[in-house]
Amino acid sequence: MQALILAGGKGTRLRPLTMHTPKPIVPIANRPLLVYQLELLKRAQMRDVILSLSYQPQKIEDKLLDGFDHQVHISYTVETIPLGTAGAFRNAAGLIRETTVVLNGDVLTDIDLSEVLAQHREREAAATIVLAPVPNPTEYGFVETDETGRVARFVEKPAPEEVTADTINAGIYILEPHILDYIPEGEPFMFEYDVFPKLLEAGEAFYGYIWRGYWRDVGAASSYWQANMDVLAGRVQLLDKLPAEGGEKFDASVEIDALSVVDPSCTLKAGVQIINSVVSRNCYIEERARIENSVIRGGTRIGPQAAIAGAVIGKGCHIGRAVTVSGNAVLGDKSVVSDYSQI
């Protein structure tokens, strides 16, 4: 078995958090998003992984290298121009030899891929698409299956009265190698709009697998924040949460609750409180600052008596004395907030 992770997107919906960090390696609870996907694949005994890159590819390669540290073997393909989801699959044709699991690079889930593969083989499918139920399919478009599980149709951005199913494309596919024949070489091509309709027209054995467990598209800032909160709360059964062990520069009076993840390289001064939050490497948190339900990216300094609640703070920011940041605020990298400001 092989796996292809589509990791070439620019992450425009996730800006300003992706201005300097490619979306596939934005950290979730202090681990790159791609590491969660690699763990998902390893659980299904898939260790031959292809990463399809386009935007800032060197940063991703420098982070994951050949995959040895994650007990997988990683190969890379790089698009010179964006080719879309299916075009990226076609671009990796030289590396694809067998049934391939294809994942969108912005999906966080703990689905058991072994079960999806078992169904795919049992039905002798040419393609299987994982479907996730959502409360409001009109925001996405839905995928309808018949009583046997075969995909019947795709409906994009339906009106409420057109909705006949609550399942959407979860961005995970099992594809046989001959699916490559449906995709032209070197042209932008999408699974959703170009390939899957062709499979339906051709009468291919195209099935859906409905996953009702944890699934999240980490494509927008609000969803990125929620993904971090979900990992802290233990809703994602993939990797053990990193411990919030006391670093050498943690004052003895610091309070960190059991849910939080705080990198030990940080400096935490007297009276700091950290509650249900993620604090990344080399942050400097000054006296009596309080961080709650928030994500603080690396190298950020937070001034004395500052209060951060329900926010995402980018890398290398400077938050002044007695500043309040709340209400789902998102600050991009290197933001500066003056003393006593409220955001």
User: Which residues does residue 208 pair with via DSSP β-bridges, in sequence order?
Assistant: 129
CB neighbour class for 226 (10 Å; exposed up to 12, middle 13-18, buried from 19): middle
State which H helix or E strand residue 267 sits in: strand 267-268
Beta partners for 330?
A: 312
Q: What count of other Cβ atoms lies within 10 Å of the Cβ of residue 106?
A: 25
* Main-chain phi, psi angles of 207, to 5 degrees: -120, 155
The neighbour count for residue 162, using CB atoms within 10 Å, is 11
β-strand partners of 312? 295, 330
Nearest one of 231, 157, 261 to 223, comparing CA atoms: 231
Buried b (16+ CB within 10 A) or exposed e, 84-98: bbbbbbbbbeeebee
- CA atoms lying within 13 Å on the CB side of residue 146: 8
Burial class of residue 12, CB neighbours in 10 A (0-12, 13-18, 19+): exposed
Which residues does the annotation mark as catalytic? 157
Rounded CA gap, 224 and 99, in Å?
31
- Looking at residue 150, the DSSP 8-state letter turns out to be B
